[in-house]
């Protein structure tokens, strides 16, 4: 995934009032975290950050005073009503470093019979920070009711490995609601109709 460069400014004021003033100025309060180091408080351009974070596991190159730092968003706080980003926690990463991240799952195609149901919306994976997939697509073409797809069956991009147990189900093909009838109940219904 391509890196997005965002111009940042240092933040020296903290608290709810300072955060509100930052957001009124069209900026987003953010914190960059690194293992063992002190967090770095910054503000990011609101619109550009919103666009960059529409993509899962977006890699952001934060330009602070002419020095660029590679990061990935770990937590994005949004206003529940407006969906406006209120705060971002960023993890500082190194090029070539492998990290764990949750990648959204997406079903493609139609099963021959039944409905495809995702057991989980995301898959935890390990990969190079700059090569995390934005989404993992799962084809259900040709599958039938009762079939399942396990983590081991997924076609993951090169360099990406699943963290969870390979025998874990991710997709199940089930009967559509309202079509589950047993022969005994069907026959009983016919007997009542004949009476």
Look at 15 and 192; give whichever has higher pLDDT: 15
Residue 83's pLDDT is: 81
CA distance 118 to 3: 30
Residue 61's pLDDT is: 93
187 is a domain residue: no
**For position 143, which CATH number holds?**
2.170.120.20
Averaged confidence pLDDT in the chain: 84
185 is a domain residue: no
190 is a domain residue: no
One domain, residues 80 and 119: no
180 is a domain residue: no
In the predicted structure, residue 134 carries a pLDDT above the cut 70: yes
In the predicted structure, residue 136 carries a pLDDT above the cut 90: yes
One domain, residues 9 and 89: yes
184 is a domain residue: no
Q: Is the Cβ–Cβ distance between 138 and 107 less than 8 Å?
A: yes
Secondary structure (DSSP) of the chain: ---EEEEEEE----SHHHHHHHHHTTEEEEEEE-TTSPPEEEEEEHHHHHHHTTSTT-EEEEEETTEEEEEEEEEEEE-TTT--EEEEEEEE--TT-EEEEEEEEEEES--SSSEEEES-SEEEEEEEGGG--S-EEEE-TT--TT-EEEGGG--PPTT-EE-S-TT-EEEEEEPPTT----HHHHHHHHHHHH-
Q: pTM score, two decimals?
A: 0.70
**For position 18, which CATH number holds?**
2.40.240.10
**Percent above pLDDT 70 for the chain:** 89
Residue 189's pLDDT is: 45
Tally of domains within the chain? 2
71 is a domain residue: yes
Residues spanned by the domain of 25: 4-93
In the predicted structure, residue 180 carries a pLDDT above the cut 70: no
Residue 186's pLDDT is: 42
Residue 54's pLDDT is: 86
């Amino acid at each position: 995934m391509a890196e997005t460069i965002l111009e940042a400014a240092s933040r020296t004021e903290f608290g709810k009032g300072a955060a509100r003033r930052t957001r009124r100025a069209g900026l987003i309060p953010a914190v960059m975290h690194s293992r063992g180091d002190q967090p770095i408080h910054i503000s990011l351009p609101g619109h550009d950050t919103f666009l960059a974070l529409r993509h899962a596991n977006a890699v952001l190159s934060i330009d602070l005073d002419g020095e660029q730092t590679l990061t990935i968003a770990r937590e994005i706080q949004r206003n529940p009503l407006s969906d406006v980003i209120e705060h971002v926690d960023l993890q500082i990463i190194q090029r070539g470093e492998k990290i764990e991240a949750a990648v959204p799952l997406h079903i493609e195609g139609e099963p021959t019979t039944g409905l495809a149901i995702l057991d989980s919306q995301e898959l935890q994976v390990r990969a190079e920070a700059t090569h995390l997939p934005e989404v993992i697509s799962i084809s259900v073409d040709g599958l039938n009711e009762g079939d399942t797809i396990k983590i081991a069956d997924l076609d993951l991009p090169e360099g990406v490995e699943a963290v969870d147990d390979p025998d874990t189900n991710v997709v199940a093909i089930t009967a559509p609601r309202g079509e589950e009838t047993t022969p005994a109940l069907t026959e009983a219904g016919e007997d009542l109709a004949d009476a």
